[in-house]
Amino acid sequence: MSVNYDVTETLDVKGESCPMPVVKTKSAVDDVPEGGVLEVVATDKGSMSDINGWAAGTSGVELLEQVEDGDVFRHYVEKTA
């Protein structure tokens, strides 16, 4: 599965567990300009469900895709507003 997004910024939260991936994603997305895409790289298995839930409950962001890549989970979040 190849993912081709024009990534504005990458956040590395490998090795960190709940609630850090979500909390750091929120902080990082605040600094992304509108229309930009944040890539979050995590190893927390809960991040697949958590970042999905966070994006669904947060205005101004859209979860484009989540990719499981071995032990690593990649999340692509667009800042829409």
Task: Determine the interface stretch with another protein among 3-11, 23-31, 33-41, 63-71 (rule: CB under 8 A).
Answer: 23-31
CB 58 within 8 A of CB 30: no
Total residues at interface with another protein (CB under 8 A): 16
Least Cβ distance, residue 8 to another protein (angstroms)? 19
For position 54 contacting another protein by CB under 8 A, the verdict is: yes
Sign of CA dihedral 11, 14, 16, 17: positive
* 25 contacts another protein (rule: CB under 8 A): yes
Catalytic-residue membership of 70: no
Catalytic residue among 3, 10, 17, 18: 18
DSSP-assigned letters across all residues of 21-62 = HHHHHHHHHHTSPTT-EEEEEE--TTHHHHHHHHHHTSTTEE
